Structure 1
């Protein structure tokens, strides 16, 4: 790391690196000299890379001690390295990757940490107490939105222990190949979304009636009770179809949903927070709007917090297949056994095939904002992304829409899309999410608190009312990765306990849920 008298001007992570990332808010200008004598040959914006050595065409460009590309042309010492002068390398071959070869780090259990959560009958624990109204088809979305607003106005004030009511709308359910093999992904996602711990095991499904995905399918693992318009006092109903012939007009449909919701709210209102061990936490780690600092500050701090949660017996999942694919060789050795390592490879191979069928490849992942923030390609992005997983052994791999099965560190295979990844992590059973960003996003989930961590202090200060934790202090030397990791860990416990509200919840900002549907649409 080259230092000025005040703060780092550039950051070089690994001794092998032949590029470094510019730290200062205004970047560095042509003619400036770094402490090691490198003279800038071009203006290099904040977060972008400067060449520490002269690179000939075809030379390997190294960051994180790994090859992120080859020089597409000669790049002088002090030159600006970016997507325009880099060729992307091929991804690691999936054959012959080392499986479960790294011994688990020797760490002491972390004891004595708790949070205040809502314990459910199935043993899971919520960090919020929310009425979720799921849907079997997009046709009913407008009706559900209408009813949700009425519930908030007319019913919710009577149930002070219920935090919110959320409509789980989506674009699936009809006009789809319901029996296609890949349809298992959206269907199990919808089933498991309704079982998120923050919904308190109160499953409520609104359907139309004629759709391919019948409402009862979403609760087939539980007793199915159809709402009967003739029995408004029915307290056990969990499914209502708008085409029920007993309804006369829209008003009676709405009245039926309101009556059913009231019974669910009555039960949810009896829930109380109680002291729970960290073993009951299920935290999703995600990044979006990433920049070159994400892998230097926010994601390493998240990785440190990941290891703390795992040491305390909790569950953590990391995701985003395309942001793992080019770093998969760093992950398969960490699998707890060969079967878990093979499961990682299988998920990578499945997604390679999925992208190929769509005539796309992993390079399509990197966005204009990522590049503006200094990330030249998906390889560099992936190497910074996987740092969120910390150093713990990977104990399990789950497919898109599947539920968590084990405590510890799990790879939950999802697309990298923020909204789809968040939806699938919620379906997996997370009760809190940590989301890192370098470019900034107001992203939030309606049923799960989302702690947003900025990777650079420029964003942290500019978005002071949207960011919950500024990890940019690591880049400026004000805090260490360890200090930020502990700060995030304590913040997670505060948010999980309801003692601290995340910024986007205070502002009432929420994204729509988006299902992953790799199956055909008819």
Structure 2
């Protein structure tokens, strides 16, 4: 859309049918009373909306050619459109199953992009090579973290193992006081197993307390895992206490490190990249710059045989009709709608509403309703055919563009995607989200240049060049795709350069805690 706009204009029109425009930079009527023939009545912050025509109370407000809400009072042309005069209401969406689904224009296998990755015995390919200490229960989290700290980069104890990216502790707040037949337990077990078998993890030590509900033998059996040289287990109670377990765990890891270090990167097809698509700390530019640029990169990855995984079900709410049109089969479209209905019920049970989004920071950045946020968020998914819909932390076994049902809360969403097998993350942000997600490298894509400059140490790429007009969506998207390949080959993200990402493992806690 933006590629064909007049780049000199201070206002951005996203669709001919829109009755609001977006400010490229803050506009003050005292300094600039008229912009492109539109008399400004209010100050319009960067990324915020201005009405192009009078919009009567109750009339729809349109952006991206779609309804994002309704005027809660009469809005005059040139007025700021935001929470004071724009409100949510139910929108009657038409779900046309598979109407826009098209076979991707695949690049021939011999010509596909390649990266240097770690091939595992399972056939999976990692972008990193970690040893993971997986805690079965919160009661073993302290011990797990103490063991990981023994091998922290500052200690120099991994200097002799240059092919090992680190020893990480995968800890959480659950594992007991739950029914092992419940939905919540299935989510937790799938998540832990997904990290234990993740392509970026070459060896695992699982540590439990010993008396917890989430018994390690039960977990392994149900998830089809078997102990061996690369997967070892122990419990604190069985080993003789915390200090004894820390010492025993250190010895186990020291015994596993030589084999892990012997693994080398080899040339691999981009078809082995499974990319998590995430947005957090969104602003009014998210759906204009970083998200569509990432969508272009995601489509490129799909064309090269890879997989791109969109998530955050509450943040596609109101835009799901755009995805059902692209579904490969009616069953895929229906599964997506079924998850939306599940969320309606889930929210009602918790005395919440799906339209309780956007967040405080989103609103400061120019987003007003969940419809507006969702329409921008789905742009991360590009235009490829939707191949599959997965429940939380399910193993992603389809190639192409897929969707995973997760909450909108970033650490929980990404934890599910990584558990599903995503070996790299692209995280778009307008306000400045800074999370890392070991064991998967996380690239931060800034939606606007001022934030990129202010937080340069935490951002990997500036997509604000699309807003300023110095790059097209395609040009920026191709840069993102190349950065994905370089990162998959070992180039460190800014989060990795600071060794961030140890605290973002947050499984979805669902159901009763007894």
Q: TM-score, normalised by structure 2?
A: 0.95
In 2, the alpha carbon distance for the partners of 1:190 and 1:3 equals: 46
In 2, the alpha carbon distance for the partners of 1:5 and 1:184 equals: 52
Q: 1:156 aligns with which of 149, 155, 158?
A: 158
What is the Cα deviation at residue 6 of structure 1? Answer: 7.8
Would the aligned equivalents of 1:305 and 1:486 in 2 still touch at CA under 8 Å? yes
1:381 alignment partner in structure 2: 373
1:219 alignment partner in structure 2: 220
In 2, the alpha carbon distance for the partners of 1:74 and 1:2 equals: 32
Residues 194-251 of structure 1: CA deviation (Å, up to 9, x unaligned): 1111002x232100000000022333212236xxxxxxxxx5661100100xx44433
* 1:218-297 correspondence to structure 2 within 5 Å: 218-220=219-221, 221-224=224-227, 238-244=232-238, 247-297=239-289
1:59 alignment partner in structure 2: 59
1:231 alignment partner in structure 2: none
What is the Cα deviation at residue 90 of structure 1? Answer: 1.1
What is the Cα deviation at residue 112 of structure 1? Answer: 3.4
In 1, the alpha carbon distance for the partners of 2:225 and 2:505 equals: 24
Change (3 A) 1:106 1:186: closer
2:96 alignment partner in structure 1: 98
- The answer to whether structure 1 residue 420 and structure 2 residue 422 are counterparts is no
In 1, the alpha carbon distance for the partners of 2:296 and 2:169 equals: 34
Would the aligned equivalents of 1:8 and 1:476 in 2 still touch at CA under 8 Å? no
In 1, the alpha carbon distance for the partners of 2:9 and 2:453 equals: 19
In 1, the alpha carbon distance for the partners of 2:309 and 2:378 equals: 11
2:205 alignment partner in structure 1: 204
Q: How many residues align?
A: 506
1:147 alignment partner in structure 2: 147
What is the Cα deviation at residue 365 of structure 1? Answer: 2.6
Q: 2:496 aligns with which of 502, 505, 509?
A: 505
Would the aligned equivalents of 2:106 and 2:304 in 1 still touch at CA under 8 Å? no
Which stretch has the larger CA shift, 480-489 or 337-346? 337-346
* 1:128-143 correspondence to structure 2 within 5 Å: 128-143=128-143
What is the Cα deviation at residue 176 of structure 1? Answer: 2.1
Change (3 A) 1:400 1:80: same
Say which SS state the counterpart of residue 457 (structure 2) adopts.
Answer: coil
- The answer to whether structure 1 residue 436 and structure 2 residue 394 are counterparts is no
Change (3 A) 1:219 1:266: farther
What is the Cα deviation at residue 268 of structure 1? Answer: 1.0
Say which SS state the counterpart of residue 167 (structure 1) adopts.
Answer: strand
Which stretch has the larger CA shift, 103-112 or 84-93? 103-112
Say which SS state the counterpart of residue 17 (structure 1) adopts.
Answer: coil
Say which SS state the counterpart of residue 240 (structure 1) adopts.
Answer: strand
Q: 2:191 aligns with which of 189, 192, 197?
A: 189
Structure 1 residues not aligned, in runs of 5+: 226-234
Q: 1:107 aligns with which of 98, 105, 108?
A: 105
1:313 alignment partner in structure 2: 305
Change (3 A) 1:106 1:281: closer
Which stretch has the larger CA shift, 60-69 or 188-197? 188-197
Say which SS state the counterpart of residue 132 (structure 1) adopts.
Answer: strand
What is the Cα deviation at residue 178 of structure 1? Answer: 2.8
Would the aligned equivalents of 1:323 and 1:382 in 2 still touch at CA under 8 Å? yes
Change (3 A) 1:13 1:3: closer
1:232 alignment partner in structure 2: none
Q: 1:410 aligns with which of 399, 402, 405?
A: 402
In 2, the alpha carbon distance for the partners of 1:150 and 1:494 equals: 30
- The answer to whether structure 1 residue 520 and structure 2 residue 512 are counterparts is yes
Would the aligned equivalents of 1:135 and 1:215 in 2 still touch at CA under 8 Å? no
In 1, the alpha carbon distance for the partners of 2:426 and 2:230 equals: 35
Structure 2 residues not aligned, in runs of 5+: none
In 2, the alpha carbon distance for the partners of 1:50 and 1:453 equals: 26
Say which SS state the counterpart of residue 458 (structure 2) adopts.
Answer: coil
1:170 alignment partner in structure 2: 172
- The answer to whether structure 1 residue 395 and structure 2 residue 387 are counterparts is yes
Would the aligned equivalents of 1:28 and 1:44 in 2 still touch at CA under 8 Å? yes
Say which SS state the counterpart of residue 388 (structure 2) adopts.
Answer: strand
Q: TM-score, normalised by structure 1?
A: 0.93
Residues 340-387 of structure 1: CA deviation (Å, up to 9, x unaligned): 111111111111111111110112231100000000011100000000
Change (3 A) 1:359 1:274: same
Change (3 A) 1:2 1:262: closer
1:328 alignment partner in structure 2: 320
Q: 2:486 aligns with which of 489, 494, 510?
A: 494
